Amino acid sequence: MTADASGNAQKIEEVAAPKAKPVKKPETLLDNVKTIVYALGLALVLRVFLFQPFNIPSESMRPNLLVGDYIFVSKWDYGYSKHSIPFSPNIFSGRIMGATPARGDIVVFKLPRDGQTDYIKRVIGLPGDRVQIANGAVILNGSPIKRERLDDDIQSDAFGNIQRFERWRETNPEGKTYLTYNIEDGGQFDDTGVYVVPEGHLFMMGDNRDNSLDSRAPMEIGVGFVPMVNVVGRARLIFLSFKEDTKLFLPWTWFTGLRLDRIAVTAE
């Protein structure tokens, strides 16, 4: 308090000085590097333990998977091996929390003869199974897998040529149902001997039966029996799909080539 000239007391307002705003520390190169490392670490954890994206480069799994499909592959279904990790480092052997795929599952695996190339096929035979192909039909443990003839799939290629695919609905002993293509009768692998699947291995086939190099061909030229350790994961979901004429460097084709009917579709 203070007094004015007349002696009356007068209150003096105390004005608080404005607080200084904290100065944001400029990001350093080290901060940026840390952010990138954290992001890469999170992406690696997701890729190794949860999901890994793949794209379909060939027609061996038609009509269920098409060239231009982008799929998520789950990593936990069958456990983890060195092939769950980028570049397949030889840091442990076998599988951790391993489980055997079911017949009918679509599986991504490393090609046995090089351990690096990613392949995708359907599981037909499990360890101990006896698999044979007779007149294009799969004989599993002495009994034909049930199959039903459907209407032909008629399509035109990029040049306007009409293509006709013979369609079959196959139902395996577990009740798993999926479609297959037959392009020609008397194809190279339409009639085979009996394959006995070794312990710890799988017998794989493509759904486009006359256009798939799979376990029907010996490992030296095809796939052969696939060791369980080579399994990467199970195909779960098609999250994007582009027509084959979509071009990376022609952005407008990203929209015209998008297959809307194949977005968020289960991979079966």
| Residues classed as catalytic | 60, 121
Which of 174, 156, 175 minimizes the C-alpha distance to 165? 156
Which CA distances in Å does 138 have to 41, 145, 191?
44, 6, 9
How big is the chain, counted in residues? Answer: 268
Long-range CB contacts (within 8 A, 24+) of 217-221 = 217/189, 219/112, 219/113, 220/113
Which of 69, 107, 75, 121 minimizes the C-alpha distance to 263? 69
Task: Please name the residues in contact with 142: beta carbons below 8 A apart, sequence gap of 6 or more.
Answer: 130
Q: In whole angstroms, what is the distance from residue 61 CA to residue 223 CA? A: 15
Q: Calculate the CA dihedral of residues 241, 243, 247, 250 and round it to 10 degrees.
A: -90
Which helix (H) or strand (E) segment holds residue 92: the answer is none
